[in-house]
């Protein structure tokens, strides 16, 4: 990796066993015990404490399997609104150290702390200060990695978990990468690993045995990216998250349609996309908007404001369906979209489903969290709601 006169300092923070740790912090009786979050009898594990991991339990594992492995574990429901609240506390701490904070998910963030040494000390000292302040505010541990580029900072944060702090200096990057398994590189999945194994590529050092042109010809942009990572190159900047005004998804059909059931299947698909994005960033919205564009390119929008903010897929879907039911389809539809706006990030009131009871609301919250966890780990199509099983046509936009 080319030496820079003033190399960047990128910090990646990852909260340790975040959901389970929040449960242990809120309920001292759970501390030191195996805690499994989202372990409903017919669901999957959303998260688990380090004590639970000793029994072989991991996220996305079927709850029935977890209960066989650890029948004496403490099984708790998902409380996404509480995790989002604690996440906001963590981000507030980080913003004291740098104006360049990019929240990557509810439990992780990047900071560009280049040039901050005069204010907060050397990288290791700065990392220790951040960890101490996060602990003081939330009672939770986190792990921090500091490196010259983003992908190395993320790897470094996982290097000494839990409660870790690992600093990778510029002069140590080449040696660190040489023996690093390609499986450790963010974005290298099992399918790619299989193709690399056939080439005899197990480490990032192995990647450099092939010339740059080979990777571009064989794997396109992905191959070029892998080659650059092997050299320690990652030009991505830390981009501060800006408050969104809305979140939406829409689809254009290959053929215009009058079919309301088809339109509602698309709304479910879109509600899942929008809901997952909101939950990832800790947002909830109060206003659901339906957009329809007809075959003659005219369009309409219809909106409804809920009694309380929500990020729940089912709540958005049902509201959008009611809006659709109120529209007279006197001409075929070319495009349908679902949007959420009027956001809130404060502590959440209990959301009100207009047609669902309290037990069903809790079930939907756990279902959303479980599906998010599975898709984060195995991809968007790893699990599909029954309504969408036979629904794979159309064009995402």
Catalytic residue, chosen from 108, 228, 247, 312, is 108
- Three-class SS state of 255: strand
Q: Is 212 a catalytic residue?
A: no
State the Cα–Cα distance between residues 344 and 341, nearest whole angstrom.
Answer: 9
User: In angstroms, rounded to a whole number, what is the distance separating the alpha carbons of residues 56 and 138?
Assistant: 27
Nearest to 106 by CA among 351, 376, 360: 376
Residue with tokens 């499986």: 183
Is the CB of residue 127 less than 8 Å from the CB of residue 134?
no
CA distances from 223 to 131, 202, 213, 324, 354 (A): 36, 15, 9, 45, 50
In angstroms, rounded to a whole number, what is the distance separating the alpha carbons of residues 46 and 128?
Answer: 29
Interstrand relation of 142-147 and 165-167 (parallel, antiparallel or unpaired): parallel
Helices (H), the chain: 18-26, 50-53, 63-69, 80-94, 117-120, 123-138, 150-157, 173-178, 190-198, 204-207, 212-230, 260-280, 313-325, 358-378
Cα separation of 49 and 102, whole Å?
Answer: 26
Let me know if 163 is exposed, middle or buried by CB neighbors in 10 A (0-12, 13-18, 19+): middle
The SS3 call for residue 285 is strand
DSSP letter for 326, please. T
What are the distances in angstroms from CA 211 to CA 54, 187, 218, 219? 42, 21, 11, 13
Lateral strand order in the sheet of 142-147 = 101-105, 108-112, 10-15, 142-147, 165-167
The per-type count for the chain, helices as H runs and strands as E runs, is 14, 13
- The residues that are catalytic are 108
């Amino acid at each position: 990796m080319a030496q820079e006169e003033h190399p960047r300092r990128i910090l990646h923070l990852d909260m340790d066993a975040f959901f389970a740790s929040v449960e242990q912090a809120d309920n001292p009786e759970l501390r030191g015990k195996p805690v499994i979050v989202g372990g409903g009898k017919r669901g999957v594990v959303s998260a688990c404490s380090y004590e639970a991991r000793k029994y072989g339990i991991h996220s996305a594992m079927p709850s029935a399997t977890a209960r066989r492995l650890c029948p004496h574990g403490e099984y708790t429901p998902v409380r996404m609104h509480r995790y989002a609240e604690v996440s906001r506390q963590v981000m507030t701490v980080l913003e004291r150290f740098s104006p360049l904070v990019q929240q990557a998910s509810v439990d992780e963030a990047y900071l560009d702390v280049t040039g901050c040494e005069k204010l907060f000390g050397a990288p290791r000292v700065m990392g220790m200060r951040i960890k101490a302040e996060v602990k003081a505010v939330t009672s939770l541990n986190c792990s921090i990695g500091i490196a010259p580029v983003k992908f190395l900072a993320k790897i470094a944060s996982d290097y000494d978990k839990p409660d870790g702090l690992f600093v990778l200096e510029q002069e140590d990057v080449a040696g660190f990468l040489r023996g690093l398994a390609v499986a450790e590189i963010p974005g290298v999945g099992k399918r790619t690993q299989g193709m690399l194994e056939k080439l005899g590529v197990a480490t990032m050092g192995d990647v450099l045995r092939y010339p740059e042109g080979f990777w571009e010809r064989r794997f396109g942009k992905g191959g070029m990216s892998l080659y650059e990572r092997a050299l320690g190159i990652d030009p991505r900047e830390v981009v501060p998250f800006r408050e969104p005004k809305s979140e939406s998804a829409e689809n254009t059909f290959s053929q215009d349609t009058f079919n309301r059931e088809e339109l509602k299947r698309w709304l479910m698909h879109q509600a899942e996309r929008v809901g997952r994005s909101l939950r990832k960033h800790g947002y909830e919205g109060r206003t659901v908007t339906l957009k329809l564009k007809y075959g003659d390119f005219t369009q309409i929008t219809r909106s409804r404001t809920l009694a309380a903010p929500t990020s729940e897929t089912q709540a958005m879907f049902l509201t959008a369906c009611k809006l659709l039911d109120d529209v007279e389809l006197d001409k075929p539809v070319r495009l349908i979209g679902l949007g959420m706006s009027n956001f809130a990030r404060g502590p959440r009131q209990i959301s009100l489903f207009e047609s669902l009871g309290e037990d069903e609301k809790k079930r939907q919250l756990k279902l959303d969290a479980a599906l998010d966890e599975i898709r984060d780990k195995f991809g968007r199509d790893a699990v599909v709601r029954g309504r969408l099983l036979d629904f794979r046509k159309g064009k995402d936009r």
